[in-house]
Structure 1
Amino acid sequence: MNLVWVRKKHLIYILEMKYISKMFLGSLILTYVCLETELFWEDSDEFDFTLVRFITFLLIF
């Protein structure tokens, strides 16, 4: 019973770390893309939501 509990905890830990690293990498990519494509620049007239939606979709799945 104790060994099963340890395995479950280890699996949960691995899944959490995978999710956190994926979100961190995704946020870095999103920040880079937004800065490079002038999404957040002050002189930008419009905001490109399609790119942000695409990157957010990739982060979720």
Structure 2
Amino acid sequence: MGRDEHSKGGKNAASLPQTPKKQKLSASEMREEISRELDAIDTAVKQRQSKRKDK
């Protein structure tokens, strides 16, 4: 039997991508960002609902 070269990934298949230090966020900054995103989604949903009621 020959070698099955397709069964393995490359050398970097198991490694995770690295985030540059200047792009990393602390836990509190991450919570703030998630909070802002959820607020934006909430206001968008409310605007869409109010537009549907107006029709």
Gaps of 5+ in 1: 33-61
CA RMSD of aligned residues (A): 1.2
User: What does residue 45 of structure 1 align with?
Assistant: none
Shift of 1:30: 0.7
Task: Please identify the structure whose Cα radius of gyration is greater.
Answer: 2
User: What does residue 29 of structure 1 align with?
Assistant: 52
Aligned pair count reads: 31
Gaps of 5+ in 2: 1-24
Aligned equivalents of 2:44, 2:28: Cα separation in 1: 24
TM-score, normalized by length of structure 2? Answer: 0.53
User: Taking every aligned residue pair, what percent have the same amino acid on both sides?
Assistant: 6
Which has the higher relative contact order, 1 or 2, with Cα contacts under 8 A spaced 6 or more apart? 1
TM-score, normalized by length of structure 1? Answer: 0.48
Where do 4+ consecutive residues of structure 1 move more than 6 Å? none
Query: In proportion to residue count, which structure has more helix?
Result: 1
